């Protein structure tokens, strides 16, 4: 069995710059999709927002053997669920199970906090989005709380018809 070259820990405020860089690098994969290529030019999550989530201890970072961030998951507790805001992994670290492991850690955290679901919004037909999350146990969901997230996505310029909300009931 191949040795795992990464670990997961809670993010620290000192990780914020690295998380922004990871998010920008990971978004470059959207250049391969004509209708979504503009996402590769997007800005990362605002530093203040990322700091808020880190302080709430709902950001998990995958690090290499030198404790340098290579991927992360940012989330927030909303009512009885942990809502995933962003999952990004550096391109050269993708396809190693880091995204799955980050989702597993978020699920474990949600269970520890006695929450009832993991939720997120994503692109319905992008292979590394909804189909990937469906493999992990998420299902498309249509409740009012998640509709608010889809509306926020639309306000941020994301194409409504290509987006969906998903939930993993715990």
pLDDT in tens, 81-138: 999 999 999 999 999 999 999 999 999 999 999 999 999 999 898 888 899 999 999 9
Q: What is the mean pLDDT of the chain?
A: 91
Between 82 and 157, the higher pLDDT residue: 82
Whether this prediction's pTM lies above 0.95 is answered by no
**Is the dihedral angle over the CA atoms 122, 51, 4, 168 positive or is it negative?**
negative
Rounded to whole angstroms, how far apart are CA atoms 22 and 70? 7
Q: Which domains does the chain have, with CATH numbers?
A: 7-169 (3.40.630.30)
Q: Which of 32, 124, 28, 116 is nearest to 79 (CA)?
A: 116
CB 78 within 8 A of CB 118: no
Rounded to whole angstroms, how far apart are CA atoms 162 and 56? 30
pLDDT in tens, 41-68: 778 899 999 999 999 999 999 999 999 9
């Amino acid at each position: 069995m191949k040795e795992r070259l990464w670990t997961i820990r809670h993010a620290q405020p000192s990780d914020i710059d690295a998380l922004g860089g990871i998010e920008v690098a990971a978004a470059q994969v959207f250049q391969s999709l004509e209708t979504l290529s503009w996402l590769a030019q997007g800005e990362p999550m605002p530093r203040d927002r990322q700091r808020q989530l880190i302080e709430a201890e709902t950001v998990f970072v995958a690090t290499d053997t030198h404790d340098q961030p290579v991927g992360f998951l940012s989330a927030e507790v909303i009512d009885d669920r942990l809502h995933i805001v962003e999952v990004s992994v550096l391109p050269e670290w993708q396809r190693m199970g880091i995204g799955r492991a980050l989702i597993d850690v978020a699920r474990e955290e949600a269970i520890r906090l006695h929450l009832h679901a993991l939720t997120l919004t994503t692109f319905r037909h992008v292979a590394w989005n909804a189909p990937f999350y469906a493999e992990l146990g998420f299902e498309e969901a249509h409740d009012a709380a998640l509709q608010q997230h889809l509306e926020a996505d639309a306000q941020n310029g994301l194409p409504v018809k290509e987006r969906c909300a998903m939930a993993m009931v715990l």
